């Protein structure tokens, strides 16, 4: 409990930094002016025995410091600002989250190396069959398509539509016809069209404008 500590008279005051080397985080207590190291606590897992929170405050923690010669001691540290204590927790959580991700990636890579490798090569004597459409006709072979009739000037004419009737002596019109001026008779019998017949003298329907009713 932090209430049992002499909070009004701390034994030491300075700054705290967190560094990392590999998977181990180091909590370093340094002089805030000169940067001289006062103590450090290596943390190999979090939460763990190296860093523990107290039961009556979120701003105070117990650290297990080491001097590098095998000697260890437990000390209590506290932050004046609650936001600094929050950042202290988040920094440790982020580091060990990264450690877990690296460990998971290394395990997956090892499983892929040890697993059976997929062999996509052809075995001896193995063949495959390809079925490609529209490749059955050989070059130079006779097909069932009929050539289209060639019109004047080498132009191809379209065949008559299916189901249509063609009378005897009729020929398909060319794609392009010469222009015909009004009043000029057409002398070419191939290009002559039947002239419209004159309208009957009497209109069997009558004049709609004069109809009664």
Q: How far is CA 177 from the centre of its chain?
A: 57
Average pLDDT value for residue range 134-163: 56
Average pLDDT value for residue range 101-125: 76
Side-chain half-sphere CA neighbours of 76 within 13 A? 18
Q: How confident is the model at residue 74 (pLDDT cuts 50, 70, 90)?
A: very high
Average pLDDT value for residue range 73-101: 92
Query: What backbone phi and psi angles, to 5 degrees, belong to 38?
Result: -95, -45
**Burial class of residue 61 in the structure, from the number of CB atoms within 10 Å of its CB (0-12 exposed, 13-18 middle, 19+ buried):** buried
What is the C-alpha to C-alpha distance for residues 20 and 120, in angstroms, rounded to an integer? 44
192, pLDDT greater than 60: no
What is the C-alpha to C-alpha distance for residues 213 and 209, in angstroms, rounded to an integer? 10
Tens of pLDDT, residue by residue over 9-30, are 888 999 999 999 988 999 999 9
Is the pTM higher than 0.75? The answer reads: no
Cα angle 37, 93, 3; round to 5: 65
Stated as kind and residue range, the H or E segment containing 102 is helix 82-114
- CB–CB of 41/24 below 8 Å? no
pLDDT at 29 (0 to 100): 94
pLDDT at 152 (0 to 100): 54
* Residue ranges of domains in the chain, CATH in brackets: 2-114 (2.30.29.30)
150, pLDDT greater than 90: no
Q: How confident is the model at residue 95 (pLDDT cuts 50, 70, 90)?
A: very high
- Residue that has been written with the tokens 């892929």 in this structure: 112
- Residue that has been written with the tokens 């794609």 in this structure: 175
Instruction: Name the range with the highest mean pLDDT among 111-115, 149-153, 201-205.
Output: 111-115
């Amino acid at each position: 409990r932090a209430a049992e500590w002499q909070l009004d008279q701390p034994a030491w005051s300075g700054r705290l930094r967190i560094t990392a080397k590999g998977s181990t985080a180091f909590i370093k207590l340094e002089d805030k002016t000169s940067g001289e190291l006062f103590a450090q606590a290596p943390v190999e897992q979090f939460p763990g025995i190296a860093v523990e929170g107290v039961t009556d405050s979120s701003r105070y923690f117990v650290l297990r410091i080491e001097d590098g010669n095998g000697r260890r001691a437990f000390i209590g540290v506290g932050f004046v600002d609650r936001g600094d204590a929050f950042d202290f927790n988040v920094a440790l959580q982020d580091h060990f989250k990264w450690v877990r991700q690296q460990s998971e990636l290394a395990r997956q890579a090892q499983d892929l190396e040890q697993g059976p490798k997929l062999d996509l090569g052809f075995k001896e004597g193995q063949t495959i069959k390809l079925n490609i459409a529209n490749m059955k006709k050989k070059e130079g072979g006779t097909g069932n398509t009929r050539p289209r009739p060639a019109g004047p000037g080498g132009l191809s004419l379209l065949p008559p539509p299916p189901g249509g009737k063609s009378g005897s002596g009729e020929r398909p019109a060319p794609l392009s016809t010469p222009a015909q001026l009004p009043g000029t008779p057409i002398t070419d019998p191939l290009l002559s069209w039947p002239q419209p017949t004159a309208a009957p003298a009497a209109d069997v329907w009558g004049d709609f404008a004069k109809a009664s009713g």
